[in-house]
A and B are shown apart, each in its own frame.
Chain A
Amino acid sequence: MISLRTDLPLGGDSASRFIPWLMAIMVFLGILSVSGVAVFDTILSGWSRAVTGTLTVQIPALSAINEDSANQARTDRAVFVLRSMPSVRSVQVLEKTEIEALLAPWLGDAAAIGGLPIPVLIDVSLSDDATMIIENLRTAVKTVVPDAIIDDHRRWFEHLIDLTEGFRLLTIGIALIVTTALALTVVYATRASMAEFREVISVLHLIGARDIYVATQFAKRTLSAALKGSAGGLLAGAFTLITISLLASNVESGFLPDIDLGFGFWVSLPLVSLVATALAMVTAYITVISTLRSMV
């Protein structure tokens, strides 16, 4: 057990009052940043899992009314061609009700879209999604249904990846800025504190205290103040995330991707607080050591 006893007065100076607030804010922002990175990672991997090795064949409905039999024939031709290809693992024609459910958030319930020419969607699962295979498949399907649309999801998925990756990098950047701001502010606070306790440091110095001893005193003091603040920041961050999760769970499915950050994420949140506390303590220690070098 590390003793937090120090030869420096605790709580009496501006730095002692300032550091807990600073830590609370930084840990709160740090938790939001880390959560942002985790959310974007989860979204990306979920999308990646969902679209890798799959494609969708869309058979547009013929515009003329009462063309159900012709539409069915076009669908059957496309399904036949798809099933005959060796790289196709499965072919699943979506039921009309499933398509209506997909469109419902935008167009309303089934009754409202009943008269519209709804295309047929065919989910295709591939054992190999190499570009060449997809191109062969596209050519084969278009031979039997020339206006079929083969969507391998790549174009929109790549744009989404770029966008999401951009957000992810932005969040990492914010986390780095928060970390740097924390370190710089602790440096400033420690120097201010050293100026305030100049006499104490001088006495410790003259009775034979090594720089390490004095630096440890400041590090312990910073640890004590930082622990209080980071605990507050952790609680505020966790409360905010839980609130956002509850609000997100009330949103109808389809608008937001399913994001399950998992038990591990919630358990690891205190790590943000511990890392920030350790960073503050080490920064204070190094600041004192480097400042004391200028003394006799």
Chain B
Amino acid sequence: MQIRKSLESTDQAAALELDNVSLSYDNGPNVLTNLNLSLPSGSFHFLTGASGAGKTSLLKLLYLAQRPTHGSVRLFGTNVTAAARRALPAIRRKVGVVFQDFRLLDHLSAFDNVALPLRVSNAPESEIKSNVSELLSWVGLDKYMDAKPETLSGGQKQRVAIARAVVNRPRLILADEPTGNVDDAIAMRLMQLFIEMNKLGSSIIIATHNEHLVKKFGFNQLAIENHRLSELPPLGTNGERP
């Protein structure tokens, strides 16, 4: 009972906390070393770093695809490193993920792909229909609801993936290069969607190489360098930090 109580989350808790987190694969060298971080609910961060720096590995820890080799990860006040396996699905439903390779299910339509998070939560079909339709319209895919992913362009797939990540209004949204395959106009529109979700209370972390995006929106930055994480103040529009 004590353990259960200590694992329960509270709305006031930080969105995520990392305590001396290290990660290595198959006893290899650390890809992440001694990460310490606490992000409040409703924060918005860009996650930057060179290719292979460990951005995707950090995101994997946060969307619970991987457990840390050392240290602990807390999401919404719950120590997910120590949590029982059966407790994880409920936490995963509070985290929306945009995967770099989209990971859409090819045999399902755009509508059904976006509906998946609601279906696994047993949401009523009427709610699924209205929410998914509205969201696909928002990302400009209202004419492609029945289209299978293989018939969509890279940018369209990315928008479906983003719609799937935000459809159940998660408390934390993790996006891995979400604007990598779209033109600037669509990228701005998608960023606007993330900002709207942020205003509704979701914490956002966007992993990106796009310096233009980082400068333009001026949110705080999490930088991974030499397997370590540091939190940086926003870049100014001139590309320098205050």
Least CB distance from A2 to B in Å reads 14
A203 proximity list for chain B (CB < 8 A):
103, 105, 116
Q: Is the CB of A204 within 8 A of B120?
A: yes
Least CB distance from B156 to A in Å reads 18
Indicate whether A207 reaches chain B with its CB closer than 8 angstroms: yes
Indicate whether A296 reaches chain B with its CB closer than 8 angstroms: yes
Q: Is the CB of A208 within 8 A of B89?
A: yes
Indicate whether A239 reaches chain B with its CB closer than 8 angstroms: no
> B92 contacts which of A8, A12, A208, A211 (Cβ < 8 Å)?
A208
Indicate whether A155 reaches chain B with its CB closer than 8 angstroms: no
Indicate whether A206 reaches chain B with its CB closer than 8 angstroms: yes
Which one of B58-66, B137-145, B202-210 contacts A?
Answer: B58-66
Which residues of A from 204 to 221 have beta carbons under 8 Å from B?
204-211, 213
Indicate whether A200 reaches chain B with its CB closer than 8 angstroms: yes
A200 proximity list for chain B (CB < 8 A):
105
Instruction: List 9 A-B residue pairs with CB atoms under 8 Å apart, sorted by A's residue number.
Output: A7-B105, A12-B107, A199-B105, A202-B103, A203-B116, A206-B63, A206-B65, A206-B97, A209-B89
| Cα distance A67–B70 in the bound complex, in angstroms | 109
> B85 contacts which of A7, A8, A202, A293 (Cβ < 8 Å)?
A293
Contact indicator per residue, chain B 82-121, by CB within 8 Å of chain A (1) or not (0): 0001101111110001000001010110001000110111
A9 proximity list for chain B (CB < 8 A):
107
> A296 contacts which of B66, B86, B120 (Cβ < 8 Å)?
B66
What 17 additional pairs, Cβ within 8 angstroms, besides A203-B105, A206-B92? Answer: A8-B107, A12-B107, A206-B97, A207-B92, A207-B93, A207-B116, A207-B117, A207-B120, A208-B93, A208-B117, A208-B121, A209-B89, A210-B89, A293-B85, A296-B65, A296-B85, A296-B88
A213 proximity list for chain B (CB < 8 A):
120
| Cα distance A296–B60 in the bound complex, in angstroms | 11
Least CB distance from A69 to B in Å reads 94
A207 proximity list for chain B (CB < 8 A):
92-93, 97, 116-117, 120, 164
B92 proximity list for chain A (CB < 8 A):
205-208
Least CB distance from B87 to A in Å reads 11
Name B's A-contacting residues (CB within 8 A).
63-67, 85-86, 88-93, 97, 103, 105, 107-108, 112, 116-117, 119-121, 164
B67 proximity list for chain A (CB < 8 A):
296
Among A202, A204, A211, A293, the most chain B Cβ lie within 10 Å of the Cβ of: A204
B85 proximity list for chain A (CB < 8 A):
293, 296
B121 proximity list for chain A (CB < 8 A):
208
| Cα distance A204–B17 in the bound complex, in angstroms | 25
| Cα distance A203–B102 in the bound complex, in angstroms | 10
Q: For residue A12, which residue of chain B has the nearest CB?
A: B107
Least CB distance from B181 to A in Å reads 19
B64 proximity list for chain A (CB < 8 A):
206, 296
B65 proximity list for chain A (CB < 8 A):
206, 296
| Cα distance A203–B119 in the bound complex, in angstroms | 13
A202 proximity list for chain B (CB < 8 A):
103
| Cα distance A252–B48 in the bound complex, in angstroms | 91
| Cα distance A209–B93 in the bound complex, in angstroms | 8
Q: For residue A3, which residue of chain B has the nearest CB?
A: B125
| Cα distance A84–B124 in the bound complex, in angstroms | 85
| Cα distance A7–B67 in the bound complex, in angstroms | 27
| Cα distance A194–B89 in the bound complex, in angstroms | 19
A209 proximity list for chain B (CB < 8 A):
89, 120
| Cα distance A205–B86 in the bound complex, in angstroms | 12
| Cα distance A58–B47 in the bound complex, in angstroms | 104
Least CB distance from B32 to A in Å reads 16
Q: Is the CB of B116 within 8 A of A204?
A: yes
A211 proximity list for chain B (CB < 8 A):
86
| Cα distance A202–B97 in the bound complex, in angstroms | 13
Q: For residue A203, which residue of chain B has the nearest CB?
A: B103
A296 proximity list for chain B (CB < 8 A):
64-67, 85, 88
A199 proximity list for chain B (CB < 8 A):
103, 105
Contact indicator per residue, chain A 154-187, by CB within 8 Å of chain B (1) or not (0): 0000000000000000000000000000000000
B97 proximity list for chain A (CB < 8 A):
206-207
Q: For residue A10, which residue of chain B has the nearest CB?
A: B107
Q: Is the CB of B90 within 8 A of A208?
A: yes
